[in-house]
């Protein structure tokens, strides 16, 4: 079987002198010999636990452990190979991202592939060992989609007919118990689940160990969902900045032409980027609704959204709205709640509720100024009836500079979380405080014309 192309780092590591493997056995190697000894009548869980602790304690632990495990998995003794695979799964459960990244490199994956491939060790490897390797690799494609080389290697095995079909993952298979994790781990995030898991893992009852395995998988699925949210957020922020930067550069080029007509090809490209920016706005609100518990991450979203909003308004200011940009299906029209003294305040509505609290809706307040004077000391306050609750997240700023028709207007954003468990008619009273031309302003108002519940969040 052809070896997948590895990056330079992996190639260099693969070509390292064999003397490293001939070094005197260390603590990790001794533990692994003991844990995989085929003469043991049953799994040595205490020894397996120590292996994960040792891997976590050593900066080179993941690399060393995987090199040793590769040799054990290739053992001609079925019992030794199967126990090595159990140790491997235990390390996957316990040893974090560094271990996952190392196991997702071709230099380790090729060691597993050799056991399966008839060109290498597959002729004499037992069916039980090969089945377990296929099951392990398939489970990694499910749990660690970010490790793309695992997926590539598995798909290559399928393409070459070595893997005939995806295995059915066994839900009640007893996995090695996890070792203590960092405080930030999902296994400690829920106090009750953490206590239950600890109790189940200490039990000698096989049914309790099966229940612990299912709980571990459920917690890993929760962590995977969180990772997916983080990925969506980072991609949305990156796209918003990229789109804003492209529009800024193109609009700057238009300004340099001193009012000359924009060539049709350039105009079409400009309109396309503007349309993409318009479609990004509802995505920004969606990821904001998923991130309300993390104020630092929420601030990053709002900053990217502010930049995007500024440059989209600059486009409309210079060229007018694009006829092709309207997408009546991720946009809910904003409600203007205040527009005087050159200051405009609008409420935008996210379609999706807060994932952890379906009765809570996300609103984003946008403040813009067309005033020739700076607007300073801006504070927005809000109140709702007693049957509801509202929480205001920190705003992205408190000042708006004087309006400049040649640059994108500044924007201040602020997220409002509105809970309405009784689904009562929505009402919101607000006070907008600001100073302008050395004069203090205190403006009050009430908002009742919220979007229909079926359109906004489906409450």
pLDDT at residue number 327: 44
Phi-psi region of 438 (alpha: psi -120 to 50; beta: other; left: phi over 0): left
Question: Is 380 within 8 Å of 428 (Cβ atoms)?
Answer: no
DSSP of 225-272: HHHHHHHHHHHHHHHHHHHHHHHHHHHHHHHHTTTPPPPHHHHHHHHH
pLDDT at residue number 255: 60
Q: Which residues lie across from 433 on neighbouring strands? A: 379, 442
Task: Find where tokens 């994932």 sit.
Answer: 355
- Reported residue count of the chain is 459
CA–CA gap between residue 93 and residue 78 (Å, rounded):
23
Q: What sign for the dihedral angle of Cα 420, 422, 423, 428?
A: negative
80's tokens? 């030794």
pLDDT at residue number 142: 82
Interior/surface letters 131-170, b for 16+ CB within 10 angstroms, e for the rest: ebbbbbbbbbbebbeebebbbbbbebbeeeebbeeeeeee
| Cβ partners under 8 Å of residue 358, min gap 6 | none
| Cβ partners under 8 Å of residue 291, min gap 6 | 229, 233, 297, 298, 301
First to last CA, the chain: 55
Centre a 10 Å sphere on the Cβ of residue 240 and count the other Cβ atoms it contains.
25
Measure Cα distances from 290 to 287, 301, 363 in Å: 5, 11, 13
CA–CA gap between residue 55 and residue 63 (Å, rounded):
9
266's tokens? 């350039």
Q: Which residues lie across from 446 on neighbouring strands? A: 429
CA–CA gap between residue 144 and residue 357 (Å, rounded):
27
pLDDT at residue number 172: 43
pLDDT at residue number 239: 84
Tens digits of pLDDT across the chain (459 residues): 444 444 434 443 433 333 333 333 478 888 999 889 888 778 787 888 889 888 988 888 899 999 999 999 998 889 999 999 999 988 888 888 889 889 999 889 999 999 999 888 888 889 999 999 999 999 898 888 888 899 899 999 999 899 988 887 654 444 444 444 444 444 444 567 777 877 777 777 778 777 877 777 777 777 777 777 777 788 888 888 888 888 887 777 666 455 566 766 677 777 788 888 887 877 787 777 777 667 777 778 878 888 888 788 888 777 766 544 444 446 577 889 999 988 999 988 877 767 667 778 888 899 999 889 999 999 999 999 988 898 888 888 899 999 887 776 788 888 888 888 888 888 899 999 999 998 999 999 998 888 766 555 544
CA–CA gap between residue 253 and residue 315 (Å, rounded):
12
Question: Is 182 within 8 Å of 223 (Cβ atoms)?
Answer: no
Centre a 10 Å sphere on the Cβ of residue 119 and count the other Cβ atoms it contains.
13
Say whether 273 sits in a helix, a strand or coil.
helix
Domains detected in the chain? 8-180 (1.25.40.90), 332-459 (2.60.40.1230)
pLDDT at residue number 316: 78
* Prediction pTM value: 0.43
Say whether 338 sits in a helix, a strand or coil.
strand
Question: Is 56 within 8 Å of 95 (Cβ atoms)?
Answer: yes
CA–CA gap between residue 271 and residue 326 (Å, rounded):
12
């Amino acid at each position: 079987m052809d070896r997948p192309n590895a990056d330079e780092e992996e190639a260099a590591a693969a070509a390292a002198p064999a003397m490293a493997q001939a070094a005197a056995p260390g603590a990790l190697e001794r533990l692994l010999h003991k844990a995989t000894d085929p003469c043991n009548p049953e799994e040595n869980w205490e020894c397996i636990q120590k292996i994960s602790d040792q891997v976590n304690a050593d900066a080179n632990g993941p690399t060393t452990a995987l090199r040793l495990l590769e040799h054990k998995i290739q053992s001609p003794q079925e019992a030794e190979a199967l126990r090595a695979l159990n140790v491997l799964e235990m390390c996957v459960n316990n040893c974090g991202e560094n271990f996952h990244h190392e196991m997702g490199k071709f230099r380790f994956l090729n060691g597993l592939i050799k056991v399966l491939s008839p060109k290498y060790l597959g002729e004499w490897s037992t069916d039980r060992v090969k089945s377990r390797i296929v099951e392990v690799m398939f489970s990694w494609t499910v749990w660690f989609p970010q490790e793309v080389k695992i997926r590539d290697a598995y798909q290559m095995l399928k393409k070459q007919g070595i893997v005939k079909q995806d295995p059915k993952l066994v839900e009640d298979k007893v996995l090695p118990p996890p070792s203590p994790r960092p405080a930030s781990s999902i296994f400690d995030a829920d106090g009750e689940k953490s206590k239950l898991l600890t109790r189940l893992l200490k039990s000698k009852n096989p049914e309790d160990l099966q229940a612990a395995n299912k709980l571990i998988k459920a917690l890993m699925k929760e962590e995977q969902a969180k990772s997916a949210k983080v990925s969506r957020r980072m991609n949305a922020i990156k796209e918003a900045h990229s789109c804003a930067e492209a529009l800024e550069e193109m609009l700057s080029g238009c300004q340099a032409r001193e009012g000359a007509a924009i060539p049709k090809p350039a105009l079409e490209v400009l309109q396309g980027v503007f349309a993409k920016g318009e479609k990004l706005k509802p995505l920004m609100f969606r990821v904001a609704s998923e991130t309300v518990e993390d104020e630092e991450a929420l601030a990053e979203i709002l900053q990217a959204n502010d930049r995007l909003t500024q440059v989209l308004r600059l486009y409309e200011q210079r060229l007018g709205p694009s006829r092709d940009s309207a997408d009546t299906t991720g946009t809910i029209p904003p409600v203007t709640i205040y527009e005087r003294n050159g200051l405009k305040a609008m409420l935008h509505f996210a379609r999706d509720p807060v994932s952890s609290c379906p009765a809570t809706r996300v609103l984003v307040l946008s403040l813009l100024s067309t005033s020739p004077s700076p607007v300073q000391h801006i504070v927005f306050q809000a109140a709702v009836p007693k049957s509801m609750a509202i929480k205001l997240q920190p705003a992205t700023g408190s000042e708006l500079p004087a309006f400049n028709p040649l640059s994108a207007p500044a924007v201040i954003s602020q997220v409002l979380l509105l809970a309405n468990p009784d689904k009562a008619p929505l009402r919101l009273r607000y006070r907008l405080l600001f100073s302008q031309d050395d004069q203090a302003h205190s403006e009050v108002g009430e908002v009742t014309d919220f979007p229909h519940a079926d359109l906004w969040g489906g409450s």
